[in-house]
Amino acid sequence: MVIRKTRAAAVLLIAMIFVQIPLTHSTESKSHVNVYHLLLLLMPVIYLPAVRYLKVNPATAFIATMMGTSLAASASYGGGLRSTLIVFVAASYFLGTVFGRKLDDLDLRRIFVWILGCCIAFILLRDAVYAGQLGAIYTRSETTSSVLYMSTGGRNIEASLLALLSILLIGTRVYPIAAGIALLTSGMMLSRSGLLGTAVSIGIAAYRMRKTRHYYFYTFIGVAAVVLVAGLVLSSVIDIPVIDRFNLQAETQLEQKNVGRLALWTSAGTALEHNLMGYGVGNGVPVMEQISGLEFVENNVHDIYLQFLLEGGVQSLLLFLALAGHILFSRTDGQQGNVKAFLLCYLMLAFIEFSGYEAYFWFFVGMFYAQRDKRLGRLRVEADARTRERNAWLKSRSPLGRPDPAHA
């Protein structure tokens, strides 16, 4: 019964993390309050005894450092609604640790399949409600501000989430469905990050079914080269919207209008010249606006490494890089391998997207470390068992002691 309740709680939370249902919107902080925010405040109270699962590692060190930096910076730069993001980061990490400890690989695999079902149901329902606006939804049209996307971050995050979810389903029968939906959605919505994430997902799936490591490596390089050359040739003759989305000249033109990623990164660099120790969570873009005199539509700089440097300072960025390196070089098995691939894909896409405070990222960071602790514990138990068996064998093979001369 306990496992069933835990599984139901996990399905509810993960479903709301992926299918983000907004409750309110703050125009001042450019942020949404979603259903999953309420769950992240309530669920930790239910699982409070599981605090014993938390360990000192790069993730907990980073979260503690970001909290300390934000508290120190609030005296000079204040704080708003977005400053509470660090609380939800901590709650997401804690709940990921809880469910990673309590659920086994089979439970997690079933849960991820159910989450895919929730996402498909949402997309079908959304498309049915907005049937007259499908052309605008699945293009780069800016006339869909009232449309409810799977993520409150908009169409790009929706495509990226579908790509990331497909990674969690590698090895299941529904993986082709998940990858196909991610590819179709990313292509129609012209999402660069979604297409990159889907390519990574398919590449990982192919690698795990490899004949030899070198076979798939050279196959991937060859296919990538052919696609690149074909894209360059076709784009000079035919207007292909997907290829145009990867045109860096377009970003330069946006910067000249004080919008887009390059404009954000330039202003972030200017802000860093004034302070390298961090402005506090949520204060990055407001400080950039004060210094530059510009007003940005975005509430983050679309590069989480730059975001953490700007808001958490050098100390927080170094800890986050240690976290990323620890995930990269950790050995995994079972479902933890998919969770690791999910996190690494996120960290790759994070150079051009995301804010770094997403609940789904920190939830799976917590799950990764919980699974790692379980794996290390299992290995220790197996090592102890082998040691006992070896000692018993050696004892059985030892020669008998010589007889006492008095009784000879």
Q: Please, what are the averages of pLDDT over each run of 10 residues along the chain (408 residues)?
A: 78 95 83 92 93 93 97 89 93 96 93 96 92 80 76 89 96 94 88 88 84 68 67 58 59 56 88 94 92 86 95 97 96 91 96 93 97 89 88 75 53
- Residue 124 inside a domain? The answer is yes
- Residue 404 inside a domain? The answer is no
Name residues whose C-beta falls within 8 Å of residue 76's C-beta, 6 or more positions apart in sequence: none
Name the one residue in this structure whose structure tokens are 């890089």.
Answer: 321
Q: What angle do helix axes 35-46 and 85-102 make, rounded to 10 degrees?
A: 60
Please give the DSSP secondary-structure letter assigned to residue 407: G
- Residue 367 inside a domain? The answer is yes
- Residue 177 inside a domain? The answer is yes
The SS3 call for residue 160 is helix
Please count the structural domains in the chain.
Answer: 1
Cα–Cα dist 260/353, whole Å = 12
- Residue 399 inside a domain? The answer is no
- Residue 397 inside a domain? The answer is no
Task: State the number of CA atoms in the 13 A half-sphere of 137 facing the CB.
Answer: 19
Containing structural domain, residue 148: 2-392
Q: What is the pLDDT of residue 399?
A: 62
Q: What is the pLDDT of residue 80?
A: 82
- Residue 172 inside a domain? The answer is yes
What is the DSSP annotation of 58-113? HHHHHHHHHHHHHHHHHHHH---GGGGHHHHHHHHHHHHHHHHHH--HHHHHHHHH
Q: What is the pLDDT of residue 239?
A: 57
- Residue 224 inside a domain? The answer is yes
Cα–Cα dist 92/37, whole Å = 10
Q: Does the pTM of the predicted model rise above 0.95? A: no
Cα–Cα dist 126/21, whole Å = 12
Cα–Cα dist 343/155, whole Å = 20
> Please, what sign has the CA dihedral across residues 56, 53, 169, 32?
negative
Task: Judge contact between 32 and 355, C-beta under 8 A.
Answer: no
